[in-house]
């Protein structure tokens, strides 16, 4: 086989593939700069819990949201030696220059669109599987608001917004939103946003274009981002933050589903484990 034959073969493939490539358009990006990272995160968290309560979590955490999330029971039967090994040396973290307002969502005219609520069965039916993390670090629990997803459909019943959101944090306030930690005014844990339609581009963070490098995890290109996040209270005179904590973002597409993971106050290795466990469908070992 040579390039010429390959080229001819490409010219012979079915029209449907050409059509798909011609008509594919990413979701319209809505970039909004934000001056205060802490304020934005608060909005993210608030919106996530008030507008996008969704849960595809593990059965154990679904049945009892207050129960500490555990690793998938199926994994307990897997021998450790079978687990894929990921080396942190191969993971590239791209520094996040700025963040978009991730909470900003498209507005759907109620005259044209309806909001419907999916239960867990419907979500799994739609996604074809349970698009949730197989690995949840110790000490994190499933968000109480999880369990359903609010999606938008047009008047013909076609799904136009299928974003679902999962949260796993160390603790929660009464209203269900994640609690800040005592020493650092920020949440501790991670959220997963998933979409088949591909609307996640609406809530991407901004990276310097030429510096973005994806990492290869099991053949899937994963873009990891990192930012040292300031937290309050801010000094009234110097406006300096009280300190900084780590925030990681991971974005990738796997099995036709786009994922965005935002982790705060977590170790990089733990974030890589969460991502890898989604891709491999089981626990992985992460080493140096």
Partner 1 sequence: MLDDKKIVELFFKRSEQAIRELDSKYGKTCYTLAFNIVNCRRDAEECVNDAYLGAWNAIPPARPIPLLPYILKIVRNVSLKAYWRKESSKRNSTYTVAMEELEACIADKNNVEDIIEAKELASTIESFLDTLTVKERVIFMRRYAYVDTYSDIAKRVGISEKNVSVRLALIRKKMKKYLIERERFI
Judge whether 175 and 240 are in contact, CB under 8 Å.
no
- Contact between 220 and partner 1 (CB under 8 A)? yes
Q: Does 4 bind partner 1 (CB under 8 A)?
A: yes
Interface with partner 1, residue 155, by CB under 8 A:
no
Does residue 243 bind partner 1 (CB under 8 A)?
A: no
Residues in the interface with partner 1 (CB under 8 A) total 45
**Which residue among 114, 119, 216, 267 contacts partner 1 (CB under 8 A)?**
216
x-marked contacts with partner 1 along 168-207 as a string, rule CB under 8 A = ------------------------------x--x--x--x
Total residues found in the chain within this entry:
288
- Regarding 29 and contact with partner 1 (CB under 8 A), the answer is yes
Stretch that binds partner 1, among 3-11, 144-152, 169-177, 277-285 (CB under 8 A): 3-11
Q: Does 7 bind partner 1 (CB under 8 A)?
A: yes
Give me the least distance between CB of 71 and partner 1, in Å please: 26
Nearest in space to 258 (alpha carbons), one of 166, 163, 161? 163
210 versus 238: smaller Cβ distance to partner 1: 210
Q: Are 244 and 258 in contact (CB under 8 A)?
A: no
90 touching partner 1, by CB under 8 A: no
- In the complex, least distance from residue 221 CB atom to partner 1, rounded to whole angstroms: 5
13 vs 35, beta carbon nearer partner 1? 13
Closest to partner 1 by CB, 181 or 215: 215
- Figure out which of the listed residues 73, 139, 256, 287 binds partner 1, where binding follows CB under 8 A: 256
Dist. CA 60–CA 67, nearest whole Å: 8
The residue among 209 and 237 lying less far from partner 1, judged by its C-beta, is 209
What is d(CA 210, CA 157) in angstroms, rounded to the nearest whole number? 41
By CB under 8 A, tell whether 11 contacts partner 1: yes
Residue 256 near residue 196, CB atoms below 8 Å: yes
Q: 60 near 260, Cβ under 8 Å?
A: no
Question: Which two tokens mark 272?
Answer: 């890589």
Which residue, 9 or 39, is less far from partner 1 as judged by CB? Answer: 9
Instruction: Work out whether 100 is an interface residue with partner 1 (CB under 8 A).
Output: no
Residue ranges in contact with partner 1 by CB under 8 A = 1, 4-22, 24-27, 29, 198, 201, 204, 207, 209-214, 216, 219-221, 223, 253-256, 258
């Amino acid at each position: 086989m040579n390039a010429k034959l390959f080229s001819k073969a490409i010219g012979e493939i079915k029209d449907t593939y050409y059509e798909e490539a011609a008509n594919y358009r990413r979701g319209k990006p809505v970039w909004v700069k934000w001056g205060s990272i802490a304020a934005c995160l608060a909005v993210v968290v608030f919106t996530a819990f008030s507008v996008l309560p969704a849960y595809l979590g593990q059965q154990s955490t679904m049945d009892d949201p207050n129960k500490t999330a555990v690793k998938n029971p199926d994994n307990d039967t897997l021998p450790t030696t079978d687990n894929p090994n990921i080396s942190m040396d191969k993971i590239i973290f791209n520094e996040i220059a700025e963040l978009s307002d991730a909470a900003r969502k498209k507005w759907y005219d109620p005259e044209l669109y309806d909001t419907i609520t999916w239960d867990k069965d419907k979500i799994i039916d739609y996604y074809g599987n349970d698009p949730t993390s197989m690995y949840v670090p110790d000490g994190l629990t499933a968000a109480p608001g999880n369990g359903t997803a609010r999606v938008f459909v047009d008047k013909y019943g076609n799904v136009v917004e299928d974003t679902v959101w999962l949260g796993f944090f160390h603790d929660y306030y009464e209203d269900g939103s994640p609690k800040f930690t005592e020493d650092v005014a920020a949440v501790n844990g991670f959220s997963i946003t998933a979409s088949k339609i591909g609307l996640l581009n609406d809530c991407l963070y901004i990276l310097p274009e030429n510096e973005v490098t994806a990492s290869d995890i099991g053949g899937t290109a994963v873009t990891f981002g990192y930012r040292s996040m300031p937290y309050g209270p801010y000094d009234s005179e110097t406006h300096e933050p009280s300190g900084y904590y780590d925030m990681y973002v991971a974005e990738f597409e796997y099995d036709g589903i786009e994922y965005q993971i935002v982790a705060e106050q977590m170790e990089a290795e733990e974030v890589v484990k969460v991502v890898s466990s989604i891709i491999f469908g089981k626990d992985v070992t992460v080493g140096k």
